[in-house]
Structure 1
Amino acid sequence: MDHRPSEKLRKTLLGGGAVMVLAALNAPAALSFIEERYHAYKIAQPGYKRKYGSWAKVAVPDEYRVNAIHAALLRTGKVLLIAGSGNDQKKFDSGTFETVLWDPAKNTFKKIPTPEDFFCAGHTQLPDGRLLVAGGTARYEILDGEVKKAGGGMRVKNESPDKAITLKKGTVFRSPSGVEYVSKFDVTVPKAQREFEVSYFESGQMKPWNTKVTAAEARVFVEARQEGAQALTTEAAQYEIVGLKGADADNVYGLAQRLTTEKQDFQGIKAAYEFDPRAEKYIPVAPMKDARWYPTLVTLDDGRVLAVSGLNDVGDVVPGDNEIYDPTTKKWSKGPFRYFPTYPSLFLTKGGKLLYSGSNAGYGPAEKGREPGLWDLEKNTFTRIGGLTDPDQLETSASLMLPPVQDQKVMVLGGGGVGESPKSTARTAIIDLSEASPVFRDGPALPQGTRYLSSVLLPDDTVFTTGGSREYRGRSGSDILKAQFYSPAANAFTAAADPTVGRNYHSEALLLPDGRVATFGSDPLFDDKDNTKLGTFEQRIEVFTPPYLHKAGADRPALGEGPQEIDQNGRATFRTKDAARITRARLMRPSAVTHTTDVEQRSIALGLTKTRDSVTVRVPQDRTLVPPGWYMLFVTDGDGTPSEAKWIQVG
């Protein structure tokens, strides 16, 4: 279609000052000015909005602008925007950690005291509506060529079965040659395990004949006191802990093999908190056993949470030691062992297995843990799944369970090569898990190769996708100012209105209770196409209003009085004057999204019965389809126009 302005429209837009404008500008600049004015005119027309939707920027006061690394919709309808240090070394060094709570209904903002650096943490929705946040940043990376003092992981051994020992930050470890290294964090080493091997009777009592002591171990990052080649080592050695005396000096020591000046990656923390949406504050819970930076947290069918992957407290990818959080006891326990690269996309499927789509956010070797598959947690078996085009370009791809969840289809969209690879793919792929031997099959291609694409489920059973960039972190001005709708029924994309704000790395998008989509963040490497000007974190919020709201105007179906939780039969009844026009009901789980990773969102088809002035919805009893928690309940009419959501709890 030719969208060039007509001569009549050019005169209208420029008015009587056309000659003056053209005199002041050269011809290309004048034409660009006219085209921009025409585009603004075109997208403001009601007919355009009814077909493509519209975008609007949110007015955010300066004091509430934040580097939104994470975004989560709470059961109050407010959005928690977590920055932590926000990928800002200066804020990390000063201990300035930020969280902002945004109320999209009132467009009000509130700063939330943030106790830890939750930058690049994991998060998930809990059954009671709280948000679990676990992990984050203990130390920023130091790149190759910038590391001045040798450092690395020190294994700390404790051979005493009688007591644990805590070594404070700054503890000195001395090598056999006298080189000293300093710990960068506190570390607690449990007491050793004592096992009785043989017992015998004496005077009517069972007594040990022999005992075996197994040393306990913990890990801490250390750094040489001084610069210089004398601190470099790749040979295993035992290290004395300066200051320990007596039995402690004999029982507690360090072991290290590789202390170098190579690049030092980010390091994670063990801290975990629940965010209470009513009190609007973080509440500490038991820390994880392993430190994690870039972990995925996924809620299981019983309401517990599995924490997977992440960089640990010495900057290595957690080798497969996963753990499970119990929201009842507020404690962690050991989970099934399996390795994944960081921020793996894991989806709870019918029957309780987790599908690993292959989508991830990067850290880890290119040849390990990147192949999609079905993970049986109980048996700890992993069945690999093939058929994926461009399998080497899953990093920074988007994944989601297509609506409704009963269809058990998962879609992968876009992605790029490992690390700072220039590769990006337009591939989409869909897997139908209801098949006996499921494999990925190509879906319709995106308009171009896209990394960091945001994909959001809508209540009309479509998927809205927006933003992303062609290259790593938007390099070379490669942000993609395009959006589209995907219809699972038609297996096709259609165009949506173009966003005006570019979104790449560290960006998010999520569905709001009123049916709109909010977008946040973006962290480009550079701000220009020539890659000469360092990037600026995008702090603007832009909201998309889908066509279904422009078509309906104020005439949306509405749910009236009703319960806030389903009954024992999975039912809930709501009063409504719109019963006759309501044709469909969906439960939609609120998002918790970061780094293009949102394993929370899912849309569940509900049974629907009606009377003249009420509707009753019926929720599936299968908790592998509907994990416990708070959901948005939308009803839609025959034109696909959704109501505003009612919040309802599934136990």
Structure 2
Amino acid sequence: MAYRPSQKFRKTLLGSGAVLVLAALNAPAAVSFAEAKYHAYKIAQPGYKRAFGSWAPVDVPAPYSVNAIHAALLHTGKVLLIAGSGNSQKNFDAGTFQTVLWDPVKNTFKNIPTPEDFFCAGHTQLPDGRLLVAGGTARYEVLNGEVKKAGGGMRVKNESPDKAVTLKKGTVFRSPSGVEYVSKVDVTVPRAKREFEISYFKSGQMKPWRTKVTAAEARVFVEARKEGPEALTTEAAQYEIVGLKGEEADNVYGLAQKLTTEKQDFQGIRSAYEFDPKAEKYIPVAPMKDARWYPTLVTLADGKVLAVSGLNDVGDVVPGDNEIYDPATRTWSKGPFRYFPTYPSLFLVQGGKLLYSGSNAGYGPAEKGREPGLWDLRKNSFTKLGGLTDPDQLETSASLMLPPVQHQKVMVLGGGGVGESSKSTARTAIVDLSAENPVFTDGPALPQGTRYLSSVLLPDDTVFTTGGSEDYRGRSGSDILKAQFYDPRTNAFVEAAEPTVGRNYHSEALLLPDGRVATFGSDPLFDDKDNTRLGTFEQRIEVFTPPYLHRAGADRPVLGEGSAELDQNGRATFKTKDAGRIAKARLMRPSAVTHTTDVEQRSVALGLTKSTDGMTVTVDVPQDRTLVPPGWYMLFVTDTNGIPSEAHWIRVE
């Protein structure tokens, strides 16, 4: 008789089989869970932190969560996080603009009233410690296929030499065929220029002979009142301004070349403000002549600021009309003419020239203004610098002046193709401007092709790099959760602890006065690898503690009492019990960073003298303001083990 298992045995066998099947099915998840647990254990170990550093999230209360488009360290030690409308059409339409002030020591937050949309403005540090913010958003882009009403740039002419004319938002321009278009912002047209040609009469008396009037001009974006093909035009025409009468109607009119339903790009504003770190508020100053969205602002040796590039008030790249801001008068004047794509990385170098690394953050044709070079502002001449590998992949690359600034070396890291290209490069390159014929040479490669890489100078003369993505805006789940240190002395990368938050477009990183690095923002196109869920702006803040702080524990060199300003010889003296162990001193300029572009940060090597009793140190700051532009700096001293002090703020005039 054949053996037959009992019912109880069959149930037991089936149950065991089910467990085995479930275990097999869940094996990958179990392994992944175990790996995650082990990884969390590993990175929490003191030895790991001493070797690679560590990351920690910042607790941000909900009312202060912000789409950090811009980040700037103020000389109060607080960090200004500017969103404006935060890349949200809804916020823009509602006029909801945000700025948050973060105190990293107390971990407190404060909402700052934000008067205009500073989304994608430019900003830079001023000599007195204020932050200049210029430009921003007048209009969000409308993509091809979504433009319902014809629109475009209208040139407004004023032939009256007697007065300027201001046309308010909503002014109606009427074509010869009767089609009406409405202006989207206020526009002021200066009065016309009157010139006299003179002649001498026989009496010898000088009298006017003939008057020449040259019409003044301003631009404004207009949109058709109604949808429909009758509003489309590609022919130049003169437009009547509805509501003007008599002589004013004759003198003031519009001219347009084409009004279409093609894609309409973002448009900039002219507004400029200074943020006062002590009063903690924005103060309006004179507006720029040109509207700018995505401009670069760079501080010059005399403390003035050059504003370069950006999209103007009709959505075109500013064709090369650059402007200079004078903090003493709070007014703008004409700067040297030169074209750059938007957010170009420009660095003040020894002698007063600007180095354009080729790094930029977007708009502009692929074949124009993208080659790196040295720009002599006085002569307005540009000398191109060759030798760069992957020169077609400089958009969204990182650039910085390697420490210390006296070595005059600039590094370019990563980058990608123009526009929404999926190209990215692992290339790094370095140019030594002290060479007789400077050219770029390849540096060590990044672990993989990387766009939007954040790169931060540290007080131990290394560079910390983190984040980025391999594809455009993190597309296809391509955020890179890696970090590394670059050491200029060895010309090599060393692994650092991995961040837990991905950072791509609209992300920032900056050095804090305590020697840590704070990271903000990220604006992915999609939230999943399959690109099916629209992206969510990353509002978490994560802070990296470098290995030198884990090695130090509580035993960091300490700078005691000392001056916040330099004496007439450029020196400052500080009390310290650690004079014997202090090896070097660095001035670190505070960051003003957006779109991973930071042309402010620089590290300056200082002379260092110790008193005979070993109780004070004196630092000696270079007098060359092309090396040390005027402003507030963090003074760090480091010991023989590369462990830095906390920063002491000092002002260079």
1:432 match = 432
Q: Which amino acid aligns with 1:241?
A: I
2:3 match = none
The C-alpha deviation readout for 1:333-365, integer Å capped at 9, x for no partner, is 000000000000000000000000000001000
Give SS of 2:495's match. strand
Q: Which amino acid aligns with 1:512?
A: L
1:365-514 paired onto structure 2 within 5 Å: 365-514=365-514
1:348-363 paired onto structure 2 within 5 Å: 348-363=348-363
1:645 match = 647
Query: How far has the Cα of 1:204 moved from its partner?
Result: 6.7
1:17-96 paired onto structure 2 within 5 Å: 26-96=26-96
2:5 match = none
The C-alpha deviation readout for 1:95-121, integer Å capped at 9, x for no partner, is 000000000011000000000100000
Q: Which amino acid aligns with 1:79?
A: V
Give SS of 1:47's match. helix
1:10 match = none
Contact 2:55 2:544 in 1 (8 A): yes
Distance in 2 between the 1:117 and 1:51 partners? 43
Query: How far has the Cα of 1:201 moved from its partner?
Result: 4.4
| Residues 1:198 and 2:184 are matched in the alignment | no
| Residues 1:617 and 2:619 are matched in the alignment | yes
The C-alpha deviation readout for 1:447-491, integer Å capped at 9, x for no partner, is 000000000000000000000000000000000000000000000
1:15 match = none
1:142 match = 142
The C-alpha deviation readout for 1:405-453, integer Å capped at 9, x for no partner, is 0000000000000000010000000000001110000000000000000
Q: Which amino acid aligns with 1:400?
A: L
1:41-440 paired onto structure 2 within 5 Å: 41-201=41-201, 205-440=205-440
Distance in 1 between the 2:537 and 2:564 partners? 39
The C-alpha deviation readout for 1:271-316, integer Å capped at 9, x for no partner, is 0000000000000000000000000000000000000000000000
Q: Which amino acid aligns with 2:621?
A: V
The C-alpha deviation readout for 1:366-417, integer Å capped at 9, x for no partner, is 0000000000000000001110000000000000000000000000000000
Q: Which amino acid aligns with 2:237?
A: A
Query: How far has the Cα of 1:243 moved from its partner?
Result: 1.1
The C-alpha deviation readout for 1:14-68, integer Å capped at 9, x for no partner, is xxxxx99x96971111111111000000000000000000000000001110000
| Residues 1:553 and 2:553 are matched in the alignment | yes
Distance in 2 between the 1:202 and 1:521 partners? 76
Contact 2:198 2:206 in 1 (8 A): no
1:595 match = 595
2:516 match = 516
Query: Identity over aligned residues, as a percent?
Result: 87
Q: Which amino acid aligns with 1:614?
A: T
Distance in 1 between the 2:536 and 2:200 partners? 72
Give SS of 1:615's match. strand
Give SS of 1:90's match. helix
Distance in 1 between the 2:455 and 2:359 partners? 13
Distance in 1 between the 2:202 and 2:93 partners? 62
Give SS of 1:199's match. strand
Q: Which amino acid aligns with 2:218?
A: A
Q: Which amino acid aligns with 1:338?
A: R
Give SS of 1:579's match. coil
2:13 match = none
Choose the corresponding residue for 1:633, options 628, 632, 635. 635
Q: Which amino acid aligns with 2:622?
A: P
Query: How far has the Cα of 1:565 moved from its partner?
Result: 0.7
Give SS of 2:580's match. helix
Distance in 2 between the 1:168 and 1:275 partners? 28
The C-alpha deviation readout for 1:64-100, integer Å capped at 9, x for no partner, is 1000000000000000000000000100000000000
Q: For this pair of structures, how many residues does the alignment match? A: 633
State the TM-score, normalized to the length of structure 2: 0.96
Distance in 2 between the 1:25 and 1:422 partners? 35
Contact 2:187 2:218 in 1 (8 A): yes
Give SS of 2:80's match. strand
| Greater mean deviation of Cα atoms: 191-200 or 498-507 | 191-200
Query: How far has the Cα of 1:202 moved from its partner?
Result: 7.9
Contact 2:43 2:49 in 1 (8 A): yes
Distance in 2 between the 1:204 and 1:168 partners? 49
Q: Which amino acid aligns with 2:345?
A: S
Give SS of 1:133's match. strand
Give SS of 1:355's match. strand
Distance in 1 between the 2:503 and 2:25 partners? 32
Structure (1 or 2) with the larger CA radius of gyration: 2
Distance in 1 between the 2:395 and 2:383 partners? 20
Q: Which amino acid aligns with 2:304?
A: R
Give SS of 1:26's match. helix
Q: Which amino acid aligns with 1:619?
A: V
Query: How far has the Cα of 1:198 moved from its partner?
Result: 2.3
Structure 1, unpaired ranges of 5+: 1-18
Contact 2:149 2:224 in 1 (8 A): yes
1:527 match = 527
The C-alpha deviation readout for 1:580-612, integer Å capped at 9, x for no partner, is 000000000000000011000000000000021
Distance in 2 between the 1:394 and 1:234 partners? 35
Distance in 1 between the 2:444 and 2:638 partners? 27
Query: How far has the Cα of 1:207 moved from its partner?
Result: 1.4
Give SS of 1:476's match. helix
State the TM-score, normalized to the length of structure 1: 0.96
Give SS of 1:474's match. helix
Q: Which amino acid aligns with 2:502?
A: G
Structure 2, unpaired ranges of 5+: 1-18
Distance in 1 between the 2:161 and 2:279 partners? 43
2:15 match = none
Query: How far has the Cα of 1:199 moved from its partner?
Result: 3.0
Q: Which amino acid aligns with 1:346?
A: L
Give SS of 2:421's match. coil
Distance in 1 between the 2:405 and 2:584 partners? 15
Give the 4+ runs in structure 1 shifted more than 6 A.
Answer: none
Query: How far has the Cα of 1:200 moved from its partner?
Result: 2.9
Distance in 1 between the 2:224 and 2:243 partners? 17
Distance in 2 between the 1:219 and 1:482 partners? 46
The C-alpha deviation readout for 1:135-191, integer Å capped at 9, x for no partner, is 000000000000000000000001111111111111111111111111111111111
1:577 match = 577
Contact 2:584 2:639 in 1 (8 A): yes
Q: Which amino acid aligns with 2:257?
A: Q
Distance in 2 between the 1:239 and 1:550 partners? 69
Distance in 2 between the 1:608 and 1:59 partners? 39
Give SS of 2:633's match. strand
The C-alpha deviation readout for 1:212-239, integer Å capped at 9, x for no partner, is 1100000000001111111111111111
Q: Which amino acid aligns with 1:239?
A: Y
1:6 match = none
Query: How far has the Cα of 1:206 moved from its partner?
Result: 2.4
